[in-house]
Amino acid sequence: MQTHLSAQDDDMWYIITDRPMKIMKANTAVAVTEGIPQMIEKPRSEWTTEDKNKAKLENVARDFLYKNLDKNMFSKIKSCTTTKDIWEKLTQLYENNDQTNENKIMVAIQKFNIMKMKPGETMTEFDERFNNIIIELNALGKIYSNREVALKVMRALPRAWDIKTIAMRKI
């Protein structure tokens, strides 16, 4: 089965990998050279509905990328001004360099191993921090079984939770 991208998909990919789309038109004030008209940016007052939709693609592409990033990764790209900048930063962060990947896995495993509930931290806050580490590990290809995760959570809880964790272990 062959998949075909629509013109809009092609335009969005262009925006992500190359640069924001500029709406252009032929410059009628200049003679055509070698059969190719000189192009100039089209004033907004002359934009068609199709032009307006193309111009919106930068925001659509940026929104798509934002919605598919976790909080940690979003914080690393939030200062980027164009989708191309975001794409380049993500590419840089996710390069498949074996040594870099091994280091990232080691650091994430260490975070997992030393994970403890902080004094005064709510279960919701702890759960969010813990899940971020699990998501990071999964993204790096390190998958823990549900049993390993559950045991780690029980070991990460403070002594005040001992009675509850003992009861959970017996289930």
Q: CA 76 to CA 58: how far, in whole Å? A: 19
Q: CA 63 to CA 86: how far, in whole Å? A: 11
Q: If you search the block for the tokens 């759960």, which residue do you land on?
A: 127
pLDDT tens-place values along the chain, 171 residues long? 344 445 566 677 777 777 667 788 888 777 666 777 788 888 889 889 988 887 888 888 888 888 888 888 888 888 888 888 888 888 887 765 666 778 888 999 999 999 898 888 888 998 899 999 999 999 988 999 998 998 888 888 887 655 555 555 555
Q: CA 165 to CA 13: how far, in whole Å? A: 50
- The pTM is what? 0.43
